[in-house]
Structure 1
Amino acid sequence: MDFVSLLLVIIGAINWLLIGLFQFDLVAFLFGGQGALVSRIIYSLVGLAGLWSISFFFRHRHHVD
């Protein structure tokens, strides 16, 4: 789940970079516009992955020195 979440967050970040630099929404371009069902599903999955990724801050890993 962590790997998939990180992958989706990276996809979302790249999409936002493209929007910010070039006003180009890759997800909308590939899947028929921002309102298209597939685009909305992808946006939702990216958002859920972002929420899941918040949990990364609260995980405690025990490292042995």
Structure 2
Amino acid sequence: MNNKAMDCTALTLTIIGAVNWGLIGFFNFNLVAFLFGSMSWLSRIIYALVGLCGLYLISFYMKTGRVDA
């Protein structure tokens, strides 16, 4: 089943998470905590969504080897 909107949303959220990790690693700056508060309910939801999107994107590995007819 091809769900392009979900794929794009998951990829966007995962990229946001990766950028946040890069900011933490290089500059010790947590963008999510800065914008939404340190471990507030909203920041916890964002972290959870990014994690779920990362797990969802594991399915992309299965898609890369598949040939669509």
Q: Same fold (TM over 0.5)?
A: yes
Q: Percent identity?
A: 58
TM-score, scaled relative to structure 1: 0.90
Aligned residues: 62
How many Å apart are 1:30 and its aligned residue? 0.1
Matched with 1:55 is 59
Give the counterpart of 1:41 among 39, 45, 56.
Answer: 45
Cα deviation code 1:14-35 (max 9, x no counterpart): 00000000000000000011x2
Matched with 2:16 is 11
Helix, strand or coil at the partner of 1:61? coil
State the AA in 1 paired with 2:67. R
Instruction: Provide the rounded CA distance (Å) in 1 between the counterparts of 2:67 and 2:50.
Output: 25
Helix, strand or coil at the partner of 1:62? coil
Structure 1 alignment gaps of length 5 or more: none
